[in-house]
Amino acid sequence: MADAPQKKAFPLRIDPALYAAIERSAATDLRSVNAQVECLLREALSRRGVKLADPVRPKRGRPPRQQEDS
């Protein structure tokens, strides 16, 4: 199974009131603040007509059992 590409990490300075609003919105949508920011950015870019590839989502569930060498 190929690993998903690493996400780009970067520091973000943001107004505390804006952060609080994003945090409330994230809680409503059952997302982390990070996932909510990413979602909001994707929505904003989509409204501007910017095409993005679908996000790479990690596979969920238990990994397949590895076979033992005999």
Interval 14-52: pLDDT, tens: 999 999 999 999 999 999 999 999 999 999 999 999 998
The burial class, CB within 10 Å (0-12 / 13-18 / 19+), for 2 is exposed
The total number of structural domains that make up the chain: 1
Domain that holds residue 26: 16-47
Neighbours of 55 (CB within 10 A): 11
pLDDT-derived band at 12 (thresholds 50, 70, 90) equals: very high
Is 61 within a domain? no
Q: Please check the confidence at residue 1 and state whether its pLDDT lies above 50.
A: no
Tell whether the torsion through CA atoms of 18, 19, 25 and 29 is positive or negative. positive
Note the pLDDT of residue 34: 94
Report H helices in 3-66.
Answer: 16-28, 33-47
What pTM does this model have? 0.69
Q: Please check the confidence at residue 3 and state whether its pLDDT lies above 90.
A: no
Look at residues 14, 28, 17, 31 and name the one whose alpha carbon lies nearest to residue 42.
31
Is 11 within a domain? no
Is 23 within a domain? yes
Is 35 within a domain? yes
